Amino acid sequence: MVDYCPDTSCSIVTFFVETLDKEKSKMERENTGNSFDCIISFPLRCQFYYERLLHSPSHPSPADTVQGRWQQDLHYLASELPRLHINAFHSISKEAFEREVARIDSLIPNLKPREIKVELTKLVALIGDGHTRFDWLSTSYSLVVPLQLYWLRDGLFVTGTIDKYKQILGTRVIGIASTTIEQAYEKICQLIPRECEGFLLDKSANYLTKVDNLYSLGIANNTDSVQFVFETKGNDTVAIYLATSYKYNSASYYSLPENPPLYRTRTDLEYWSEYFKEINTLYLKYNAFINPASFPKFSDKFWQMVEDSSIEFVIIDFRDNEGGFSYCFDSFFDHILTHDNINQKNHLYVLVNRGSFSSASQYAFQIRQATNALLAGEEMGNATSSYGEVRYFKLPNSGIKISYCIKYFVDWPDSLPPFKIDIPVTPSSDEYFSGEDPVLDSVIQRIQKTLRESGQHDSTNNQE
């Protein structure tokens, strides 16, 4: 992903000379010694920047006031996002979008920067696809309450917090200040692209911990501390004012369950596998599609083991995989198609949840269409057809990145029956906090049934 050439007032000649100098310096720093790559890459990069130079709008001089500069950013966003997105008005009309721009423009003189950011977040969310967002991949710190939250079958629960508030671990959130959690969810979803219900569930839990969101939407009364209302396992109601900070680090939170289920272990690895001996099943956990170069070797070894050990069942786990490179899984998918003993009903399973997004959900749809796999879990974070192939641009004054999409993907054609999860399972709070995995357990039970029906020895989940 790249951003715009920052100085669109320079002449074409000056621009190319400066670009050539930058390329030369870059080559010297990298000391690649590959003259062919240098010869090819420079003209391609020049062509790319030249096209952007011709078509990118010029930036006006920054306004004198903070609010004026934010209005300039708003106007730039309002012109660039529809211009660059492949179909910006697929969920909202052009007229409705422009009315919203005018509304925000009139509000900005009386808003603080944190409130302006929330208004711009709402504006971008109206585009309606999960890859088009305000403050794309932000690395800046946010003012937050020290909570990790997760929606379970019976509500929104605290799964992590700091030592000071350990007593609320495992409790259910029922309100924020005077707002019920149901009302807070509806309000916070204004900031989230309505890709699908799974996407809203996945993102809302995090958005509800960000203080600027809560304050600007009228959920919280101030930003120094926020009152959350919890219900304990004994049905007692506890209201606590949580101190806010930019310095909280969720990596250091106390979290539950203390012994997480298998799929939530080894999260630092891109992918890994495990053999369930008692049910003769090979399990693959793919956490993120990051390194397309290394996975084919792993994939070949995985399927060699399937052949050498006469593996009967394969489980592919895409839960909490937010995607990445869209071709990472191709080698594994090709192997599925050539292994008829696995590519049959009740022998191949794909596990998904709301955190399965982008390339992960696309592969899940593809596998479900082209093979005999069964999908288990809950609704994914992607719609059956969605926008992707992300690019971004920066707002001229704040420098905030706005992502947009340049491709449309039909992952489940209308010619097929309506898509549904074959084995729908959403964990309850009791299952989650006890470290159970009802999704994997449901698949293992089906495998055991298949083994019994084939006359093989009844078995349990003994993982080695």
Q: 147-255 with 262-384+419-453: one CATH topology?
A: no
Q: Rounded to whole angstroms, how far apart are CA atoms 57 and 84? A: 12
For the chain, the structural domain boundaries read 12-55, 147-255, 262-384+419-453
- Residue 461 pLDDT > 50: no
Among the residue ranges 2-16, 148-162, 311-325, 327-341, the one predicted with the least confidence is 2-16
Among the residue ranges 73-87, 140-154, 258-272, the one predicted with the least confidence is 140-154
pLDDT tens, residue by residue, 36-57:
333 334 444 444 444 444 455 6
CA distances from 77 to 90, 120, 400, 404 (A): 17, 9, 10, 11
The bridge status of strand 401-410 relative to strand 385-394 is: antiparallel
Q: Rounded to whole angstroms, how far apart are CA atoms 197 and 4? A: 34
DSSP string, 220-283: -S-SSEEEEEEE-TTS-EEEEEEEPBS---GGGSEES-SS--GGGS-TTSSEEEEEEGGGTEEE
- Residue 458 pLDDT > 60: no
Query: At the topology level of CATH, where does 262-384+419-453 sit?
Result: 2-enoyl-CoA Hydratase; Chain A, domain 1 (3.90.226)
Structure tokens at 347: 């022998």
Prediction pTM value: 0.85
CATH number assigned to the domain covering 147-255:
2.30.42.10
- 313 contacts 282 by C-beta, under 8 angstroms: yes
pLDDT tens, residue by residue, 406-457:
999 999 999 999 999 999 999 999 999 999 999 999 999 999 999 999 887 5
